Amino acid sequence: MNQSYRFRRFTMQPDHAGELIHRAQCVSCAQMGPQAATGDAAMMWVVFHLEDHPSHVRYRELLSRPYRVVPRGEGA
Ligand SMILES: [Zn+2]
Protein backbone atom coordinates (compact mmCIF):
# COMPACT_ATOMS: atom_id res chain seq x y z
CA MET A 1 0.00 0.00 0.00
CA ASN A 2 1.43 3.34 -1.05
CA GLN A 3 -1.40 5.52 0.20
CA SER A 4 -0.32 8.94 1.40
CA TYR A 5 -2.40 11.61 3.11
CA ARG A 6 -1.88 15.26 2.17
CA PHE A 7 -2.50 18.04 4.63
CA ARG A 8 -1.91 21.76 4.25
CA ARG A 9 1.66 21.83 5.62
CA PHE A 10 2.73 18.20 5.49
CA THR A 11 2.17 14.82 3.93
CA MET A 12 1.83 11.58 5.86
CA GLN A 13 3.15 8.55 4.02
CA PRO A 14 4.05 4.93 4.79
CA ASP A 15 7.48 4.65 6.42
CA HIS A 16 9.13 1.90 4.41
CA ALA A 17 12.06 1.87 6.83
CA GLY A 18 9.68 0.85 9.62
CA GLU A 19 8.36 -2.64 10.14
CA LEU A 20 4.79 -3.87 10.06
CA ILE A 21 3.61 -5.04 13.46
CA HIS A 22 1.25 -8.00 13.77
CA ARG A 23 -0.83 -8.90 16.83
CA ALA A 24 -3.62 -11.32 17.59
CA GLN A 25 -6.68 -10.17 19.54
CA CYS A 26 -9.36 -12.28 21.18
CA VAL A 27 -12.83 -11.17 20.06
CA SER A 28 -14.42 -12.45 23.31
CA CYS A 29 -12.33 -10.54 25.86
CA ALA A 30 -10.29 -8.10 23.68
CA GLN A 31 -7.01 -9.33 25.20
CA MET A 32 -4.09 -9.00 22.77
CA GLY A 33 -1.02 -11.11 22.27
CA PRO A 34 2.50 -9.71 21.96
CA GLN A 35 3.76 -7.83 18.92
CA ALA A 36 5.29 -10.04 16.25
CA ALA A 37 7.06 -9.60 12.91
CA THR A 38 4.68 -11.93 11.04
CA GLY A 39 1.02 -12.87 11.19
CA ASP A 40 1.89 -16.52 11.79
CA ALA A 41 4.07 -15.62 14.78
CA ALA A 42 1.36 -13.34 16.18
CA MET A 43 -1.28 -16.06 15.92
CA MET A 44 0.80 -18.50 18.02
CA TRP A 45 -0.47 -16.59 21.06
CA VAL A 46 -3.98 -17.90 20.23
CA VAL A 47 -2.92 -21.44 21.18
CA PHE A 48 -1.99 -20.35 24.70
CA HIS A 49 -5.01 -18.09 25.12
CA LEU A 50 -7.36 -20.86 24.00
CA GLU A 51 -5.87 -23.26 26.57
CA ASP A 52 -6.70 -20.77 29.35
CA HIS A 53 -10.09 -19.77 27.88
CA PRO A 54 -11.60 -22.71 25.92
CA SER A 55 -14.79 -20.78 25.13
CA HIS A 56 -12.87 -17.94 23.40
CA VAL A 57 -12.82 -19.22 19.82
CA ARG A 58 -12.91 -16.04 17.69
CA TYR A 59 -9.79 -13.93 17.02
CA ARG A 60 -8.56 -11.05 14.89
CA GLU A 61 -5.18 -10.44 13.34
CA LEU A 62 -4.23 -6.77 13.81
CA LEU A 63 -1.73 -5.17 11.45
CA SER A 64 -0.01 -1.89 12.29
CA ARG A 65 1.69 0.06 9.49
CA PRO A 66 4.26 2.77 10.36
CA TYR A 67 3.84 6.24 8.82
CA ARG A 68 6.04 9.31 8.75
CA VAL A 69 5.22 12.98 8.39
CA VAL A 70 7.05 14.95 5.68
CA PRO A 71 6.76 18.76 5.43
CA ARG A 72 5.21 19.75 2.09
CA GLY A 73 7.79 20.41 -0.58
CA GLU A 74 10.51 18.09 0.80
CA GLY A 75 9.31 14.88 -0.86
CA ALA A 76 10.02 11.41 0.43
ZN1 LIG B 1 -10.19 -14.09 25.28
Per-residue pLDDT tens over the stretch 14-61:
998 889 999 999 999 999 999 999 999 999 999 999 999 999 999 999
**Tell me, what's the pLDDT at 72?**
85
Q: Is 68 exposed, middle or buried (0-12, 13-18, 19+ CB in 10 A)?
A: middle
Give, as residue ranges, everything with CB less than 5 Å from ion ligand 1: 26, 28-29, 53, 56
d(CA 67, ligand 1 centre) in Å: 30
CA of 36 to the centre of ligand 1 (A): 18
Cβ-in-10-Å burial (0-12, 13-18, 19+) of 11 comes to middle
With b for 16 or more beta-carbon neighbours within 10 A and e for fewer, the 43-53 pattern comes to bebbeebeeee
CA of 49 to the centre of ligand 1 (A): 7
What does the alpha-carbon distance between residue 20 and residue 51 come to, in Å, rounded to a whole number? 28
Q: Taking a C-beta distance cutoff of 8 angstroms, is the pair 24, 61 a contact?
A: yes
CA 65 / ligand 1 centre spacing (Å): 24
